Amino acid sequence: MTSYYSALFFTAFLPITVMLYGMAPRRFRWAVLLLASYGFFFALSGALIAFVALSTAVVYACARMMGANLAEKNRQLATASSGKREIREACKRKNRRIVFAAVVANIGILAVLKYSGFFGLSLASALAAFGISIDLSIPSFALPIGISFYTLMAVSYVVDVYRERTKADKNLGHVALFLAFFPGIMEGPLSRYNDVAPSLIAGEPLNRKNLYAGTLRIMWGMAKKIIVADRLNAFVKPVFDNYGSYDGGVIALAAILYTIQLYCDFSGTMDVALGMGRVFNVTLPENFRQPFFSRTASEFWQRWHITLGLWFKDYVYYPISLSKPCKMLTTKARKRFGNRYGPLLASSVALFCVWIGNGLWHGAGSQYIFFGLYYFVLIMAGGLIEPPCARAAQHFGIDRNSWPYRTFQTVRTLAIIFVGELFFRSNSLEAGLAMMGRIAGDFTIEAFTTGSALQIGFGVGDGLIVTLFMMLVLAVGVVKERGCNLWEWATAQSALLRWSLVILLFVGTVTFGAYGLGYTPVDPMYAQF
């Protein structure tokens, strides 16, 4: 068993887990999910399960200590006739030290395992530029599956306890289940304790509605992953690995197809994860909202990987922007540049930290740092030019809500996304720049007119299958964009129609899925981050 998409997972692991969950007494069902989650994690990462156990132990202990301090504070406040402010400040100082230790421990583990090699080589290269030769090569470490996801969830839990938004759970098993719940351990979504833990612990019985809705969404996610994402990999991988052999037209197409591949892979896996959660009556947060309908880069990131964006907003952007240094900077910038541009320029400090963090979170490589800076510059530029653009549109009588203008904005945003994903997928920053150079300086359509593009692991039949299925994905997106909840709609239909949809998706995936001879199995792409 290597992922959700292995035959062993769907034919044995998941059915057995569902059966045991349904048979167990209600008060023990959370324990069934915990054992299944740790079993799944062990099957994928072996002894590296020690890292998720260590992370769980750290945040549990720190949260309990903060909870004890808060309880003591409340007892003292209840009997104190004076000095209440001092009591609150003393508790806050104690808990600040504890939460700092918990965050440093969790982020430190992630940094050592994921980034130490990259930063060692980067520092050695920087010193070499000054004539200092030092061998700072650090051996690479095996990464446990989902380390970037459960680390951020661990941080959110302990910080929310510090902020008194969440009560420290006395049950270690509950915290362990929250961090390791198997539907979300590979690629998220990034959940918050208050939103997910109650339903994980409640042990609600299985019911037909949830079983159907969950199964339908699982099959929809598998179809996107196996029919589209895995098939497109046969074209995308050789072009990105050997870009010097192709002209700019082929590289541009590879960037577009990679964007589609990544979307179908990641959103498809999210559908599988949310579907499995639904089976157990656990509502995981949505991670996508039709991102390709976005009109700006900023809106795109409000629709793509939504839970990561919210995490950075709550635990990076707001703490930095509300810190004393940033408040002082905002005050000075407002006096110097006015109420419009002053706060925007001051907030750029927090936004910069967010996007550097976003880039590094995705991977240890210069291309990921560039990816973060790319969106930082675009979003900042968008905020700066929005007022003059609005005035210009008003001056020239341009209706910014008209379909031509909206279409222009969407096409422009898609171009921005394709460029960003080219760098994101490239094997290095140098490779990304070289590929952009070939697009700009050697763009031709010769490979398409001669048919040589169809020899890059991707034939006419593959193109037809991808096109037809993506038309279906687009149609579903349009319906959802108009406010229709397709999962609930399908659940409300007759049993014949409901299960016909499931069977149709299953047969379609089996018939048109990319697997077998000629195809290399592709693990969920975001699991590597």
Q: What is the pLDDT of residues 482-526, one digit of tens each?
A: 999 888 899 999 989 999 999 999 999 999 998 876 676 677 888
Q: Quote the pLDDT of residue 303.
A: 97
103 and 26 together in one domain? yes
Q: Quote the pLDDT of residue 386.
A: 83
Q: Is 434 a domain residue?
A: no
* Cα 67–chain centre separation: 30
Give the residue among 307, 221, 302, 201 at the shortest CA–CA distance from 263.
221
> What amino acid is encoded at 281 in this protein?
N
Tell me how long the chain is. 529
305 and 279 together in one domain? no
Q: Is 438 a domain residue?
A: no
Token pair of 114 as six digits: 């994921």
Task: Give Rg (Cα) of the chain.
Answer: 25
Q: Which residue has the tokens 């051996």?
A: 139
Whole-number Cα distances in Å, 222 to 5, 215, 219, 483: 8, 11, 5, 24
Quickly state the pLDDT bin for 117 (edges 50, 70, 90).
Answer: low
Region 316-325: mean pLDDT is: 91
Q: Is 260 a domain residue?
A: yes
Residue 141 above 70 pLDDT? Answer: no
CA atoms within 13 A on the CB side of 78: 6
d(CA 380, CA 390): 16
Q: Quote the pLDDT of residue 479.
A: 95
pLDDT in tens, 418-434: 999 999 999 999 999 99
Residue 13 above 60 pLDDT? Answer: yes
368 and 418 together in one domain? yes
220 and 86 together in one domain? no
Q: Quote the pLDDT of residue 365.
A: 86
Q: Quote the pLDDT of residue 92.
A: 94
* Cα 194–chain centre separation: 19
d(CA 17, CA 4): 14
Q: Is 146 a domain residue?
A: yes
Token pair of 394 as six digits: 């008003």
24 and 55 together in one domain? yes
Q: Quote the pLDDT of residue 1.
A: 66
Give the residue among 484, 309, 453 at the shortest CA–CA distance from 379.
309
CB-based contacts of 275: which residues, under 8 Å, 6+ apart? 213, 214, 215, 216, 217, 218, 219, 220, 221
Region 410-418: mean pLDDT is: 97
pLDDT in tens, 158-213: 999 999 999 999 999 999 999 999 999 999 999 999 999 999 999 999 999 999 99
Give the residue from 171, 205, 239 where a domain finishes: 205
Residue ranges of the alpha helices (H) in 280-402? 297-303, 306-312, 318-321, 324-362, 366-395
Q: Quote the pLDDT of residue 383.
A: 84
Q: Quote the pLDDT of residue 395.
A: 82
Q: Quote the pLDDT of residue 512.
A: 93
Quickly state the pLDDT bin for 22 (edges 50, 70, 90).
Answer: very high
Q: Which residue has the tokens 């301090």?
A: 69
Give the residue from 391, 425, 459 where a domain finishes: 425
> What amino acid is encoded at 209 in this protein?
K
Give the residue from 395, 425, 455 where a domain finishes: 425
146 and 22 together in one domain? yes
Q: Is 231 a domain residue?
A: yes
Q: Is 2 a domain residue?
A: no
319 and 390 together in one domain? yes
Q: Is 440 a domain residue?
A: no
pLDDT in tens, 461-470: 999 999 999 9
Paired residues of 304 in beta bridges: 288
Domain range for residue 503? 207-288+445-529
307 and 269 together in one domain? no
Give the residue among 3, 80, 76, 102 at the shortest CA–CA distance from 44.
3
Region 4-8: mean pLDDT is: 89
420 and 455 together in one domain? no
306 and 272 together in one domain? no
CB-based contacts of 43: which residues, under 8 Å, 6+ apart? 1, 13
Q: Is 519 a domain residue?
A: yes
Q: Quote the pLDDT of residue 367.
A: 94
Number of domains in the chain: 3
Residue 396 above 60 pLDDT? Answer: yes
Quickly state the pLDDT bin for 127 (edges 50, 70, 90).
Answer: low
- 3-state DSSP assignment of residue 169: coil
195 and 222 together in one domain? no
406 and 495 together in one domain? no
Q: Helices 193-202 and 172-180: crossing angle, nearest 10°?
A: 110
Region 246-255: mean pLDDT is: 95
Residue 411 above 90 pLDDT? Answer: yes
